[in-house]
Structure formats: C-alpha cells, structure tokens
Amino acid sequence: MKLNLSKKLEKALNEQVRMETESAYIYNGMRLFFKEKGLPGATSWMTHQAHEELKHAEDFIDMILDLDGHVVLGELKEPTTEYKSILDVFEAGLAHEKEISSSILELLDLALEEKNYAVENFLRTYVDEQVEEEDHFRGVIDMVKMAGDDPAALFKVDGILAKRD
Ligand code: FEO
C-alpha cells in the first residue's frame, strides 16, 4: 500500500495549502469591507470564515507532513476590499468556494489515479466540507436577496450572521 506522496501529488497538495491560505486572505478583505460598512454580524461571520480557511490550510499541511512530504508555502495575491454590496460579497465568496471545490475534486482524481488511499480518504472529508461551505454561502445569499434594499431586513440578516458559531 502506498502511503508516501509522489512529487506530483505533493506539489498539488502544496498548491491547495496556498489556496486555502489565500482564501483566508480573501475573506479578510471581505471582513474589512463589512467592518467599514458598519455590519458587525457580517464582519463576525467573515472573520469566522477566514479562521476556518486557516484551519483547512493547517489540515493540508499536517497531512503532507504525516506522509513524510515537504511543505512549500506559496505566494498569495493581494485581495480586494472593494465590493458593490453585501450580496456582491457573498456571491464572490460562493464563486470562490466553487473554485476550491473544483480544486479538491481534481486532487481527488489525482489521488485515485495514483492509488494513494491515505490521501483519498483525507480528500473525501474535504468533498463533504466543500458541500457545507457552498451551502453556507448559498444560505446567506438567499437571505440577503430576500432582504433586498430594506434596511430593517438587512439589519435583521446582520443579526442572524452574528450568531454563526
Ligand atoms: Fe477551505 Fe472554504 O474552502
């Protein structure tokens, strides 16, 4: 049974570490947008999301190290803090999560191709994680759309977002 990493798989997993870390950076940009707009609930929701992404990056790092691989921390792009609206932020977040999901599925294809069952098992938990992540963003998008331009309704949505644990 193959438990170590091929160079190809190691490189692809390191790219995922970079992407997860970059996700935290992107969500920090969104958090700053909300903070400046005076939306404490949305700020807190996005802060939580940024922390989650760092945990994901840590998980991938641990998995590479557990399989005797070498971790390389890649370069991060500067994230924007400019958005048109609350809806724009969450739609951008969902689009980003879809990219992450595609990347995880490509990694899973590679692990299967290489018959690396340890990595396959690990990645399957991340397929489930991505279903949840996309669902979280979709749920918020639905609420924000329902609130529309009504400040009272948006205030309520912000209160709901503050309750994320
Ligand atoms: Fe770690 Fe939100 O993907």
The three state secondary structure string of 95-109 is HHHHHHHHHHHHHHH
User: Residue 3: is its pLDDT beyond 90?
Assistant: no
**Region label for 134, one of left (φ > 0), alpha (ψ between -120 and 50) or beta (otherwise):** alpha
State in Å: Cα 100 to ligand 1 middle: 6
Quick one: CA dihedral 132, 165, 57, 1, positive or negative?
negative
First to last CA, the chain: 39
Q: What is the pLDDT of residue 126?
A: 97
User: Residue 2: is its pLDDT beyond 70?
Assistant: no
* 53 CB near ligand 1 (under 6 Å): yes
How far is it, in rounded angstroms, from Cα 85 to Cα 95? Answer: 15
User: Residue 100: is its pLDDT beyond 80?
Assistant: yes
**Region label for 2, one of left (φ > 0), alpha (ψ between -120 and 50) or beta (otherwise):** beta
Which residue's C-alpha comes closest to atom 1 of ligand 1?
A: 53
Mark out the alpha helices in 74-150 (DSSP H runs): 86-113, 117-147
How far is it, in rounded angstroms, from Cα 113 to Cα 132? Answer: 26
Report which ligand 1 atom has the smallest distance to the Cα of 100: 3
Q: What percent of the chain has pLDDT over 70?
A: 99
Read off the pLDDT of each residue in 81-93 and give the average, rounded to a whole number.
97
State in Å: Cα 53 to ligand 1 middle: 5
Please, how many CA atoms are within 13 Å of residue 123, restricted to the half-sphere of its CB? 25
How far is it, in rounded angstroms, from Cα 60 to Cα 13? Answer: 7
User: Tokens standing for 145?
Assistant: 């759309």
State in Å: Cα 23 to ligand 1 middle: 7
pTM for this entry: 0.94
State in Å: Cα 153 to ligand 1 middle: 28
* 31 CB near ligand 1 (under 6 Å): no
Residue 14 CB neighbours (<10 A):
20
Q: What percent of the chain has pLDDT over 90?
A: 96
